[in-house]
C-alpha cells in the first residue's frame, strides 16, 4: 500500500495546529509537490479536485507516512470520512492521485473534494498558504486554531 500523502490545506507543514503537529510527528516531510487540478475556498478550509487534464495545479506538501493505518485512520476522522455515511455524502474522498515532487511522479493519498464546486470560489493560484496570507480570512484562521 502506498505510504505517501499529499496535503494542500490545513495539514501543510507551515500550519500550526494539533492535527498538523500529529502528521509531522508520524511522517517525514519530503517537500513541496503539485497535483493537477483545482483548489476551492470552502469557507474555512480548502478543497481540491483532481483533474489529470487540468492546466491548473494544486500546490502542497508531500509526506512519507509512518504507521500508515493509524495515521490514515486519524486523518480520515479529521477529514470527516466516516463509514456511517454513504461515500457520496462525505465532503472528501481519500484516493490515490499522481503527485509531482522534484520532477518525480508519486502515487500519493489525497483527500479530494467530491461535492459540487459550482457555487465555490476557486483559489486560482492553487496555493492555500498564499491565499491565507493574501486574504487574511478570519474564518480560515479560526478553523486552524480550533484543530
pLDDT for the residue numbered 44: 86
What digits encode the pLDDT tens for the residues 3-43?
Answer: 999 999 989 998 888 899 999 999 999 999 999 999 999 98
Distance between CA 147 and CA 145 in Å, rounded? 6
Asked if residue 123 lies in contact with residue 40, where contact means CB atoms within 8 angstroms, the answer is yes
pLDDT for the residue numbered 2: 82
Report the percentage of the chain scoring pLDDT > 90. 69
Amino acid at each position: 500500500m502506498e505510504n505517501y500523502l499529499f496535503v494542500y490545506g490545513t495539514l501543510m507543514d507551515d500550519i500550526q495546529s494539533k492535527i498538523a503537529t500529529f502528521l509531522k510527528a508520524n511522517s517525514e516531510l519530503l517537500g513541496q509537490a503539485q497535483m493537477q487540478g483545482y483548489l476551492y475556498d470552502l469557507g474555512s478550509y480548502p478543497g481540491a479536485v483532481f483533474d489529470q487534464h487540468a492546466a491548473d495545479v494544486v500546490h502542497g506538501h508531500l509526506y512519507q507516512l509512518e504507521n500508515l493505518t493509524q495515521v490514515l485512520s486519524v486523518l480520515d476522522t479529521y477529514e470527516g470520512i466516516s463509514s456511517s455515511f454513504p461515500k457520496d455524502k462525505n465532503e472528501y474522498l481519500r484516493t490515490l492521485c499522481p503527485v509531482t515532487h522534484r520532477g518525480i511522479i508519486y502515487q500519493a493519498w489525497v483527500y479530494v473534494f467530491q461535492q459540487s464546486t459550482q457555487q465555490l470560489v476557486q483559489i486560482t493560484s492553487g496555493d492555500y498558504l498564499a491565499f491565507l496570507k493574501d486574504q487574511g480570512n478570519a474564518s480560515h484562521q479560526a478553523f486552524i486554531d480550533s484543530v
